[in-house]
A and B are shown apart, each in its own frame.
Chain A
Amino acid sequence: DVKVTQSSRYLVKRTGEKVFLECVQDMDHENMFWYRQDPGLGLRLIYFSYDVKMKEKGDIPEGYSVSREKKERFSLILESASTNQTSMYLCASRGTGVYYGYTFGSGTRLTVV
């Protein structure tokens, strides 16, 4: 079974802090994704990466950046956290090939105060 591990289940940060959310997968997947999930808004794609050091903007990249220095690790960075970034953040990975679904991590519930 593919495992996608997010380093923190719950985080509380102050406005203006720099926040790092870490995601690690153990199945050598090329593709990794960061989503945020808010009530009534479904899953919104922030950034994704299809190779080491490669990144692509998703639908809502403003206020976020990402880093992928190693294939198994994909980090989401909030340069200066704001209260409107309070949300559930989900990481996912996907193997190469059309007929693969995502495997999601357990999520990080981030609260910015």
Chain B
Amino acid sequence: GENVEQHPSTLSVQEGDSAVIKCTYSDSASNYFPWYKQELGKRPQLIIDIRSNVGEKKDQRIAVTLNKTAKHFSLHITETQPEDSAVYFCAASNEGSARQLTFGSGTQLTVLP
């Protein structure tokens, strides 16, 4: 089955700096890669996703890049703000994975004022 590894487990950045979280996946058939943000005490929420036929996708200060050859994808947050502090999860899925997402282990991002 699919295995998703996520690094780093914790990340601290100064406000205004950029943050990058990286994930690798094992199943070359995976073709959908969402990212979730979970603020303290709240539910995980989808913030951005990318399909395998796209190399990069941007939405304001966040972007995701995908390298299918290397089987890794990354979340980039620019001009970080204190409200970006949260746990971020990457995930992967494909049509043969019984409709479930396989999650990475999460990254605790702290933006220091």
Partner of B43, one of A50, A58, A98, A105: A105
Shortest Cβ distance from A33 into B: residue: B100
Known: A90-B44, A104-B44. A42 touches B98 (CB 8 A): no
One digit per residue, 1 when the CB lies within 8 angstroms of any chain B CB and 0 when it does not, for chain A 21-35 equals 000000000110100
- Interface size class for chain A? 20 to 34
- A98 and B99 CA atoms in complex are apart in Å by 7
Task: Please judge, given known A-B contacts A90-B43, A98-B32, A105-B43, whether A31 and B99 are in contact too, CB under 8 Å.
Answer: yes
Contact with A along B86-113 (1 / 0, CB 8 A): 0001010111001111011110000000
Considering only residues 16-45 of chain B, those with a C-beta below 8 Å from chain A are 31-32, 34, 36, 42-45
- CB nearest to A102 among chain B residues: B101
Measuring CB to CB, which residues of chain B are less than 8 angstroms from any residue of chain A? 31-32, 34, 36, 42-46, 49, 51, 89, 91, 93-95, 98-101, 103-106
Interface residues of A (CB under 8 A from B): 30-31, 33, 41-43, 45, 48, 50, 56, 58, 90, 94, 96, 98-99, 101-107
